[in-house]
Structure formats: structure tokens, C-alpha cells
Chains A and B, each alone.
Chain A
Amino acid sequence: MRILLVEDEIELAAALRGTLNRRGYVVDHVRTLEQARLALQEPGVRAVLLDRRLPDGDGLSLLPFMRATADPPPVIVLTALGQTVERVEGLDAGADDYLAKPFELDELLARLRAVSRRRAGLTPEPLTLGALSFDAVHREAQIDGRPLQLPRRELALLDLLLRRAGRVVLRETIEAAMFGFDDAPASNTLDSHVSRLRRRLAKRGAGVAIHALRGVGYMAKAE
């Protein structure tokens, strides 16, 4: 996959380039807006990593230019200007994502994968965690390839938890998805659904733990 890196900081660019190369990305590095415009004329750029403070202007000014081209690649803005206002500015200008320097490499890679997937419009792969996999389109759960039958509400619960595996899903979010807004559940209904789901997963050796944060929500994590 070919990436255009627009960055005037030579050392940072070189380091990034080396790392991305090792991960199988092809990186074209340019230092100015002018050069970036030229590089974008070439076909085949699949993503742009864009710095904001460039010698010949704000990197964001590249975005309108790009939108005018056919099939523009997704843009991740990389910058030391990391405040909310600037983040919003960047996203409003049409950037697909925004990362403040210094960023963690893993985060950059994850976002790079995410934006390219989003643009490609691929059907999402099944969600997997531990031995569990969940096909969100067909709403089917499997453990080690064998189907796991779940009631409708527990399926909705599992869907949410797996989509956001490793992160905490708020109680309200889960309740809204499981019960709709009309039939407000008793305060402990969610908890009993969770403990039933937990038991089912444990019995089948799914290798998935559902952690509770009292008063906050739940989080699914591989055991």
C-alpha cells in the first residue's frame, strides 16, 4: 500500500518511513504543499499522512485541492497542534482522522488500517475475541467454529461488547441497544443478562471475560 507522507521534519519523516516500510507500506515523502500537490497527481496513493505546519502553509489547505480530484485518498492529519479546537478544525476541513504528535506508532498503524478499510467499503470481518467469533451481519456467534445459540438480547449484548472489545461500554448504551427506549428495564435486569451470558461463554470455553465496572458499564476482554 502506497502512502504519501507530507512532513517537513526530515528526521521524523525518515523514522516514520523506515518503520512503515518494514510493515509493508510504500512511503513517498514530500516536504511542502507544492510537492504534495504534484505527488497527488500520480495515481496509486492510498492514504496521506499530513503535517499541518509546513514551510509553505497550513497542511489543511491541501484538503480542498484533494477533494477536487477523482477518488481522493483518505487523510490522517499528524500534528503537534493537538488541542480540541485544532482537531475539530482538521476534521471539519475533511480530514479522515487526526493524530497529535507525539503519537504512538501502534495507534498510527491502527488508524491507517481503519481509514483504508473505511474507504475500501469492505464488509467488516467477523469480530473475534478469544475463541469467540461474531458475524455482525448475520448475527451469528461461533466458538471454535461451532455455533453458539444465544437469545436475542444476549446477542445484542455480545455484539456491543465485541465491537468495543477492550473498551468499556456504558450501561446506558447497552440498555438502549438491548431494550430499546420504550421498555425501561429494572435496574438489575442488565446484570442478570450479563451473568447468564458469562455462564454460557464460560461453559463453552470461549476464552472471553466480561468485566463489570459497577455504575459504569462492562468490558469484554480475552482471557
Chain B
Amino acid sequence: MDRQKRGAPSLARRIILGLVVLQALVELITLVAEPIASGRLSLRQWLAAEQASQLVAESLGRKETGELAFVPTPEMTGYLKANPDFWFFASDGTELLRGGVSQPRFERGADGERVDPRQGSMFNLDTAVGQVSVMLGGQHGEFLDSAWAWLRDRLWRRLIDLAIAAVGVTMVIVPAVQFLLRPVRRAARAAMALEPGQSAPALPVQGVPAEILPLVSATNAAFARLEREHNRQRQFIANAAHELRTPIAILGIRLDELPEGRVKQRLRLDVRRLTMLANQLLDLQRLQHGGAAPPDRAIDMVALVRDVAAEMGPLVIDGGGNLSFCTARPQLKVVGDEQALRGVFHNLIGNALAHGGKGVKIEVHIDADGTIVVADRGVGFRAEDHERVFEAFQRATSGEGAAGAGLGLYIVREVLAARGAQIELRDGRPGAVFRIRF
């Protein structure tokens, strides 16, 4: 799941990336539009004015009295030498500073001398000495030089803007996406907990964004279809197992007509095995369907296991074996279906009998921590079969050959899993050791 997650594209990242690219485009367009929008000046002149304004901004200082002063930088000095026509006014709002080599043409008007604003370009600059309005004119410049000066100044500012925008967008988008996708995560959790056999409907659709809703709805519909088919199959198995019982019963009774002998003895065992298989199939169906199962209640496993040991005792003794039980706890309460849990230990002890060989020694004990152990000193299972023995119809081979239908241990694990219990098979050196933890 995590591995898939790493490869999958992030929605938030894509939205953020999209917005940042959009912002960058807007910035670029405004950048390019700037010289075009200026209109009155040619591009060359406009760029030269930009360059000059930067030089002026860098060359402004203040006297001790606080008045605005012209402190030309080396670049400014060089620029003035190269541009005899250059002039500028700078004002911080309280006083006016004049500078440059030449002077603009003054015109005499009704209210005194004034400079035609069309002769120069106006700038509002952020400088080291504060906000300053600058008017300048007579500028000349190398096209590439001035273009580079302009770009350097603007790009830097735009990049800072862009970075701020990116951080802002991220801070808004990431939680927003997380928030909006809450219903999707809820649906995912529901999907994770989904088990065959549970009653509809699989995933909650409430609050799921409309864009994602079709996926959730389609998933629900798919689950419903699978569930229907699953039910049909399960019902089929149940019916098949059920229908098998009558012919097996008839077979068992007809067998009685045969004369006693080895063949009859063997056939009887075969019928017993068929019976067991049909019953196991039904048990399994009941277990998975859960319909007619009696309600779970608290069961004392100490008493239950001892009881089953007693029930299996005659079989063990008849086989020349022995069985012992001991417990480190007076009680072990477990909530569950008593019949099914009994079946678990019937199966495990039966399994030990089948695989333990003649004169098998079976030890059942309950540890202080509630682990229930069923161990035999038989030939055990091959290590590579330790997981496989719990699979349906997998008959793990042991030295004695296998007995029983391949459903017993599968049912055992299913019953225990339904109770949240685990079972594992270990090597008893020699023998098989089943450990159950509730």
C-alpha cells in the first residue's frame, strides 16, 4: 500500500504546482507588459530610463541635517560622464534635489517656470533613504546593458513574489485538500475493513466530493455484485454438503448388510470420513455465514479443553497412546461459540492422533499467559508445511501418511480468527506443537 502511495501523484502537489505556474505566467506577462504599456517612450529609451532610475536610487543619501543628498556611486559618475544630456529631479516630499549634467527646458507659464512632464519619466523608487519620487530625462544607454539592469531588478522582485505566493498557496491548499478528501479516506478505511459476507453497503458515500463519487459508487456496486455471487456460491456449497448427508447415511446403513470382515471395516472408516467431510463443510458454511450460530458467550477454556480431552480420551487409549492435560490457570474466559471452540480442540487432538502414529503421547497445556498448547511427540510436519497445513484441502504429509479430510485445520484457524485468536504450528523436535493465543 505504501509502495503504491509513493508512486502515485499527489493531488495537493499538482494543485499547488498548477497555481504556482499560473502565478509565474501572470508575473511574466506583467513583466513583459511593463515596457509595452509605457507607450510614449521607445523600448530603448524606456529601458535606458529604467537603468538610469536605478543608478539615481543607488546614489541618493542624506546629509547630517537629514536633507536629501546626491552621493554618486562610481557607476553613476561614469554614467554622467557618458551622458552629457542627463538630468534628474528627486524629491522625498519635503525638498527637491536637482542633479545631472544638463537641465531640462523650462517653460514659462502663467504660474511661473515649470518643466514639461513629457520631457522626462517619473519613477517612485524604494531607496535606502526611503520613498523617493524621481523625474529624469536625457538618458541614453546601451540597449543590452539597460535591458539587463532592468531584468535583474525586476526578476529578483518577481521571484521573491513568486516564492511568497508558493508558500501561501501551499499553506492553504494542503490542509484544504486534506479536509476535502476526508470522506474519501473514510471510504478507504471502510474498504479496508471490508470482509466477504458482511451485509451491505460497503463504502460510505456521504460527503464524498462529486468528482470522486462515481468511483466510490462504482466500487460499492462492484462489491454488491461480488457479494451476491459470493452468497450464491456459499449457498451452493452449503446445499451440496447438506444434500450429501442423506446418501452418506444410506451408504452407512446399507454397509450393514455386508458380512463382517476387513473390507466392511475399511468401508466403515471411509463412510466415517465422508461424514466428517460433509459435516466440516457445513461447519465451515455456518462459520462463514454466521446466521444460525448461537450467540457468543463467555466460556471457560480450561473446562472446555479438559472436557474435549476427556471426550477424545477413549480414542487415544484405543490407539495405545496417552494424553495429559495441565493448566497454570484455574480459569481462562473467552467469549465465543462453544460448539465451534470445542470443534477446534477436537480437530487438534484428532490431528495429533492421526499424525502422531501408534502410541502417540499428546500433551495439552494452558500456560499462565493464556496460551493453549496441543503438542504431540509424533513425527510432526515438515517445516515447509507449517503454514500450508492450515489451508483448505491441503493435506500436509507426515511420516505416517495423512488421515482426515483436509478441512480440519482450516476450520480451526477460521474459528479462531473469528474470535481474534491466532494459531501457529511449531516444530516439537520431535512432533507437532500447536500454540493458540486468544
Contact = CB atoms under 8 A, between A and B. Distances in A.
Interface residues of B, number: 39
Interface stretch (A61-69, A117-125, A132-140, A212-220): A212-220
A204 interface: no
A12 B313 contact: no
Interface string A64-85: 0000000000000000101111
Interface in A184-223: 211, 213-217, 219, 221
Contacts, number: 102
B245 A80 contact: yes
Interface residues of A, number: 31
A107 B310 CA distance: 19
A9 B313 contact: no
Nearest to A212: B322
Contacts of B316: 213
Nearest to A23: B256
Interface stretch (B36-44, B153-161, B247-255): B247-255
A80 B242 contact: yes
A146 B327 CA distance: 42
B300 to A, nearest CB: 13
Interface stretch (B58-66, B271-279, B352-360): B271-279
Contacts of A104: 252, 272
A215 B310 contact: no
A101 B271 CA distance: 12
Nearest to A16: B253
Given A80-B242, A167-B314, A216 B309 contact: yes
Contacts of B252: 102-105
Chain B interface mostly: helix
B324 A213 contact: yes
Given A213-B324, A221-B317, A82 B279 contact: yes
Contacts of B369: none
B323 interface: yes
Given A83-B286, A85-B294, A102-B278, A217 B250 contact: no
A173 B252 CA distance: 35
A19 B253 contact: yes
B34 interface: no
Chain A interface mostly: mixed
Interface string B238-263: 00001001101111111111000000
Contacts of A214: 322, 324-326
A15 interface: yes
B186 interface: no
Contacts of B307: 170
A11 B247 CA distance: 9
A18 interface: yes
Contacts of A16: 253
A170 B294 contact: no
A213 B246 contact: no
B313 A219 contact: yes
Given A213-B322, A214-B324, A102 B309 contact: no
B325 A215 contact: yes
Interface string A163-191: 00011111000000000000000000000
Given A213-B323, A214-B324, 13 more contacts: A22-B256, A84-B339, A102-B245, A102-B274, A103-B252, A105-B256, A166-B314, A168-B309, A213-B309, A213-B310, A214-B326, A216-B306, A219-B314
Lowest 4 A-B CB distances belong to which pairs?
A168-B313, A102-B249, A215-B325, A214-B324
Interface of B: 242, 245-246, 248-257, 271-272, 274-275, 278-279, 282, 286, 292, 294, 306-307, 309-311, 313-314, 316-317, 322-327, 339
Interface of A: 9, 11-12, 15-16, 18-19, 22, 80, 82-85, 101-105, 166-170, 211, 213-217, 219, 221
